[in-house]
Structure 1
Amino acid sequence: MSTIAQCLFISTLISGSLISISANSWFSAWMGLEINLLSFIPLMSNPKNTLSNEATLKYFLIQALASITFLFTTTFMQMYTHSSLPLVDNLFSMLIISTLLMKMGAAPFHFWFPGTMEGLNWKNCFILMTWQKIAPLILLSYLVKMNLLTLLIIILSVIIGSLGGLNQTSLRKLLAYSSINHMGWMIAAMFCGENLWELYFLTYSLLTLTLIYMFSILSVFHFNQNFMIINDSQPLKLLLFLTLLSLGGLPPFLGFLPKWIVIQSLIALHSYFICFIMILMTLITLFYYIRLSFTALLITYPQMKYKPSCIKKITLTIPTTLTSLSLLTLPLCSLIYNCL
Structure 2
Amino acid sequence: MLKNSYKMLFLSTLFLGTMISICSSSWFSVWMGLEINLLSFIPLTMKLNNLFSSEASLKYFLTQALASSVLLFSVILFSFFIEWKMMLNFNSKINMILASALMMKTGMAPFHFWFPIVMEGLNWINNIILMTWQKVAPIILLSFCLNNYFFYFAIMMSVIFGSFGGLNQTSLRKLMAFSSINHLGWMVAGILNNQNIWKVYFIFYCFLSISIIFLFNSLKIFNLNQIFSSFNFKFLMKTIIFIPLLSLGGLPPFLGFFPKWLIIDMLMSLNMFFLLIVMINFTLITLYFYLRISYSAFLLNHNEMNWNFTYYFNNKKKMIFSFLLFISIFGLLFINLFFIFI
Tell me if both proteins adopt one fold, taking TM over 0.5 as the criterion.
Answer: yes
Which range is displaced more, 85-94 or 310-319? 310-319
Which range is displaced more, 205-214 or 186-195? 186-195
2:330: which partner in 1?
Answer: 328
1:103: which partner in 2?
Answer: 105
CA–CA distance in 2 between the matches of 1:94 and 1:232? Answer: 48
Alpha-carbon deviations, 1:15-69, whole Å to 9, x = none?
1001111111111111110000000000000111101000000000000011111
Q: Which runs of 5+ in 1 are unaligned?
A: none
1:209: which partner in 2?
Answer: 210
Alpha-carbon deviations, 1:230-269, whole Å to 9, x = none?
7345423201101110000001111000101100110110
1:129: which partner in 2?
Answer: 131
Q: Which residue identity is paired with 2:330?
A: L
Asked if the contact 1:102–1:110 (Cα under 8 Å) also holds between the matched residues in 2, the reply is yes
Q: 1:259-338 maps to which residues of 2 (within 5 A)?
A: 259-302=260-303, 308-311=309-312, 315-338=317-340
**Structure 1 pair 306/128, CA: closer, same or farther in 2 (3 Å)?**
closer
Normalising by structure 1, what TM-score? 0.96
1:156 maps to 2:157: yes
1:65: which partner in 2?
Answer: 66
Deviation at 1:302, TM superposition (A): 1.4
Aligned-partner SS, 2:112:
coil
Q: Which runs of 5+ in 2 are unaligned?
A: none
Q: Which residue identity is paired with 2:46?
A: S
Q: 1:248-267 maps to which residues of 2 (within 5 A)?
A: 248-267=249-268
1:176: which partner in 2?
Answer: 177
Aligned-partner SS, 2:143:
helix
Aligned-partner SS, 1:302:
coil
2:186: which partner in 1?
Answer: 185
**Structure 1 pair 238/210, CA: closer, same or farther in 2 (3 Å)?**
same
CA–CA distance in 2 between the matches of 1:222 and 1:339? Answer: 44
Q: Which residue identity is paired with 2:16?
A: S
Deviation at 1:228, TM superposition (A): 3.2
Asked if the contact 1:52–1:119 (Cα under 8 Å) also holds between the matched residues in 2, the reply is yes
RMSD of the alignment, in Å? 1.7
Asked if the contact 1:230–1:236 (Cα under 8 Å) also holds between the matched residues in 2, the reply is no
Alpha-carbon deviations, 1:63-97, whole Å to 9, x = none?
00111111121122112225244331111101110
CA–CA distance in 2 between the matches of 1:60 and 1:300? Answer: 41
2:46: which partner in 1?
Answer: 45
Aligned pairs, number: 339
Asked if the contact 1:250–1:286 (Cα under 8 Å) also holds between the matched residues in 2, the reply is yes
Asked if the contact 1:230–1:237 (Cα under 8 Å) also holds between the matched residues in 2, the reply is no
Asked if the contact 1:232–1:311 (Cα under 8 Å) also holds between the matched residues in 2, the reply is no
CA–CA distance in 1 between the matches of 2:142 and 2:308? Answer: 48
- Segments ≥4 residues shifted beyond 4 Å: 303-307, 311-315
1:116 maps to 2:118: yes
Asked if the contact 1:253–1:329 (Cα under 8 Å) also holds between the matched residues in 2, the reply is yes
CA–CA distance in 1 between the matches of 2:12 and 2:118? Answer: 23
Deviation at 1:325, TM superposition (A): 1.9
Alpha-carbon deviations, 1:276-328, whole Å to 9, x = none?
00000111001100011011112222165997432466842211112222221
Asked if the contact 2:108–2:158 (Cα under 8 Å) also holds between the matched residues in 1, the reply is yes
Which range is displaced more, 223-232 or 27-36? 223-232
Aligned-partner SS, 1:143:
coil
Asked if the contact 1:231–1:303 (Cα under 8 Å) also holds between the matched residues in 2, the reply is no
Normalising by structure 2, what TM-score? 0.95
Deviation at 1:151, TM superposition (A): 0.6
Q: Which residue identity is paired with 1:261?
A: L
